[in-house]
A and B are shown apart, each in its own frame.
Chain A
Amino acid sequence: MFDARVLDQFSGAVECIYQAALDPGRWPVAVERVANLHGSDKALLFTPVLAPDRGGFAFPHGISQTAMLDWGTRYIDHDLWTQAGMTRNLTAGEAVIDTDLVPDSLLLESRFFREFLIHHDIRRLCTGMVFDGRAGEMPMTGCSVYGPPKAEPFGERNRQLHRLTLNHMSRSLGTMLRLRDTELRLASTLAALDRLDGGVLLLDRSGAVLFANVAARQILDAADGLSLRRGSPLVPGEGRLHAFNGQDNERLRRELTAIADSDPTRVPHFNHGLKLLRPSGRRELVLQLAPLAETGELAHADRHAHSIAFLSDPDRAAAMDGALMERLYGVTRAEVRLARELLGGDGLPEIARRLGLSNNTLKTQLQSLFAKTRTHRQADLVRLLMSLSLHT
């Protein structure tokens, strides 16, 4: 029988367990609450066969770092409880107490008990499997509660309570991993966008910038025609786009409003585009907007990208990977240098002057570049060079 206070206490511990799914820093508190459920002050949530440096974890409560280390380095081979648990092949959700695993007589005589456990005031155990490591992607995970020599032995009531707790732990850890997996995948996808040569921005429905890749940030940081106005720290997103020219800025607002209301399934790609004047007098930046397919319906969770914007600077020379050119097409260093100059936008006479070479030398190099890359005209060569100029 349980009294009503026990239900409160149990419910509170379970709440802590689920809070840790969203905030893994709370696992130690959850483990403490689980220990308290059994009137104990020592407990451990851990992956017995996977070390923390290999993706496992250990959340101890009331067990010193020294004890953990001591166990890992010197007593792991003498740990009768873990050995018996492995032999019994405990399944997920199953809870046992010390005497289910090792008879008292055997335990009390063991080196594990006499040299290690008693040293740390441990005599009793109630343990169980959160995951048995047989299914899914979760490694074997156990949760143990420990009692001192002077405490009442654990009994059926502890087994029952622990069985209930294990079910909640497995749900919470599953949610934690699912969330972490999603967040890691999001981060790596954004990192992929950073590798692109062109500027990419992700905007929410209100037009706020949620993400700007490296190339876009370089253009925005230069604040030459288009910049990012930082928003309030309370508002999600990086800020809002602001065009230097007043008329451009008004058109930008209009386009952002139009795209917020557009139907992504019907609008052709990038019909929302604008050119932005630059104070430096360089050629205008080009910003092209397109809606993304609607991904959700819950109005209250609205931090996902609603549209994508491509930002390009026609005056920015494409970066070229000379080593790759040499390897793929067998071109010489001199030819790579010429190719790089051509991407800069100048004609042969200017390039010849700058490099201090004769026009004829350059013409020979150019013919060779054409032959090796199977192109025939400068425009084609530039096309090829640009397709090789990714941010890798």
Chain B
Amino acid sequence: MLAAADMAQFSAVVETIYDAAVNPSQWPGAVQAIAELHGRDKAMLFTPTSAPAEGGFVFPHGIPQEFLVEWATRYIEHDLWMQAGIRRGTVLGEPVIDSDLVADHEFESSRFYREFLSRMDIRRLCSGLVFDATAKLLPNTVCAIYGGRGDRVFDDRNRQLHALTLRHLSCALGTMLHLRDAELRLASTLAAMDRLSAAIVLLDQQGAVVHVNAMARELLARNDGLGLARTTGSGARLIDRLEAVRSSEQHQLACCIADVISPDPLRAPLFSHGVSVTRNHALTPLLVRMAPLSERSELAHVDRRAIAIVFIIDPHRRLLLAARTLERLYSATPAETRLAQVLLDGGDKLQTIADRLGLSENTIKTQLRGLFEKTRTNRQAELIQLLIGLSGPG
């Protein structure tokens, strides 16, 4: 019979296990709770066949790091428990105790116990497999609880309790991997957004900014005509909104955002999903274009996913050619690459360019013909299109 307190303790241990799944820094606490569930002070959750560098892990409780190092470097070949476990073939989720693996007299006379384990007063074991080699996502994983010479021997009650714990460890570690996988995929996709030459802002269905890529961050940080304003959204949550400095433009921008986040099928969008924004420090305005990304969701209060994309375009932004790209891809000479950049910067006639570079117009024309030939283009406008294409999406 179990006291209600035992039930509550077991339940609390299970809570710490799943807490660690969503917050892996809490694994040591979960391992401690598992040890205490059996009234012991030493336990370990580990991957016996994979080192931490190979995707394995070790979470000890009550066992110092030096001791683990000593085991791995000097006693792993004398580890009778592990050898017996491998010989016997442990069954997933079925815990074993020390005497299942090695007879008491044999164990107590072994070098493994006399020279090594006894120094930590480790004499008893209750251990089980969380994952075996058939699990695709994780290496072999073991959870073991250790007891001293004077402690009560592990019995069927420990076995039963540990069998239940192992199932929760398996479920929790699976959850941890699933969560981590999804979070890594999101992080790497957001990192990809930062590599774009387009300035991109993503909005949720309240019009709040949920992501700003690197190029847009740089642009908005200047706060030249367009910036981010922090306000209070629904549910007292602090949110950032895109804001134009001039009030007439702010009105247009707000209408445009309203159109894109909640399109009214009966009304033509007033701003065709784009507005221009005047800048103080540049003659030409910024263009702000937007488009819906996905359907609105009904889960408004929990859902912060982006439903609209905003491109902030500086039509006269200087595009820098990656010089080596043109040289590597099209075997352009350094002189041709320099001319390509001048053409991309725009504005001047060939004669003016020649004068500025201190070259004859004929030399410039020869370089231009070289560029046309190598890139298989016929006209400056066509060459410019190709060069812009090389500078990446956006």
Contact = CB atoms under 8 A, between A and B. Distances in A.
B186 interface: yes
Contacts of B181: 301, 303-304
Interface in B122-144: 137-139
Contacts of B164: 7-8, 11
A198 interface: yes
B184 interface: yes
Contact of B385 (A186, A328, A386): A386
A185 B161 CA distance: 39
Nearest to A287: B329
B325 A192 contact: no
B4 to A, nearest CB: 6
Contact of B175 (A22, A160, A301): A22
B15 interface: yes
Contacts of B229: none
B61 interface: no
B180 A298 contact: yes
A296 interface: yes
Contacts of B186: 182, 185-186, 189
B168 interface: yes
Given A192-B293, A324-B289, A198 B392 contact: yes
A188 B306 contact: yes
Interface stretch (B146-154, B243-251, B375-383): B375-383
Interface string B158-190: 001100100110011011011111111111111
Contacts of B171: 15, 18-19
A92 B95 CA distance: 35
A345 B298 contact: no
Contacts of A6: 2, 7
A177 to B, nearest CB: 6
Interface stretch (B110-118, B194-202, B217-225): B194-202
Q: B19, B187, B328: which has the most chain A beta carbons within 10 Å?
A: B187
Interface string A197-237: 11110100000000100010000000000000000000000
Contacts of B338: none
Given A178-B179, A189-B202, A314 B386 contact: yes
A42 interface: no
A322 to B, nearest CB: 10
Interface in B328-345: 328-330, 343-344
Interface stretch (A28-36, A77-85, A167-175): A167-175
A58 to B, nearest CB: 15
Given A160-B4, A202-B192, A314-B385, A197 B393 contact: yes
Interface string B265-285: 000000111101000000110
Nearest to A347: B379
A187 interface: yes
Nearest to A157: B4
Interface stretch (A63-71, A102-110, A270-278): A270-278
B179 A198 contact: no
A175 B22 contact: yes
A215 B54 CA distance: 37
Contact of A296 (B184, B325, B344, B346): B184
B68 interface: no
B43 interface: no
Residue in B19, B182, B393 whose Cβ sees the most chain A Cβ within 10 Å: B393
A379 to B, nearest CB: 4
A196 interface: yes
B375 A314 contact: yes
A4 B2 contact: yes
A177 B383 CA distance: 50
A318 B22 contact: no
Interface stretch (A115-123, A142-150, A305-313, A355-363): A305-313
Given A6-B2, A175-B175, A301-B180, A196 B294 contact: no
Interface centre among B235, B306, B349 (most CB of A within 10 A): B306
A363 B137 CA distance: 66
B189 A7 contact: no
A137 B234 CA distance: 12
A269 interface: yes
Interface string B354-372: 0000000000000000000
Given A54-B298, A181-B304, A182-B186, A388 B313 contact: yes
A19 to B, nearest CB: 6
Contacts of B329: 273-275, 286
Contact of A192 (B6, B55, B202, B328): B202
B185 A304 contact: yes
A193 B301 contact: no
B346 A377 contact: yes
B381 A382 contact: yes
A290 interface: yes
A299 interface: yes
A342 B381 contact: yes
Interface string A29-54: 00000000000000000000000011
Contacts of B289: 324, 388, 390, 392
24 contacts: A3-B2, A14-B168, A15-B167, A55-B301, A164-B7, A164-B8, A168-B15, A171-B22, A183-B182, A189-B211, A192-B293, A193-B193, A196-B196, A293-B191, A295-B188, A295-B191, A300-B138, A301-B177, A345-B378, A345-B381, A378-B380, A381-B381, A383-B315, A386-B388
Given A160-B8, A184-B305, A293-B191, 17 more contacts: A22-B175, A137-B235, A179-B182, A185-B186, A185-B210, A191-B293, A191-B306, A196-B393, A270-B325, A270-B392, A301-B181, A304-B188, A305-B189, A314-B389, A379-B343, A388-B315, A390-B198
Nearest 8 pairs of A and B residues by beta carbon: A198-B393, A299-B55, A392-B291, A305-B188, A188-B306, A196-B393, A184-B305, A304-B188
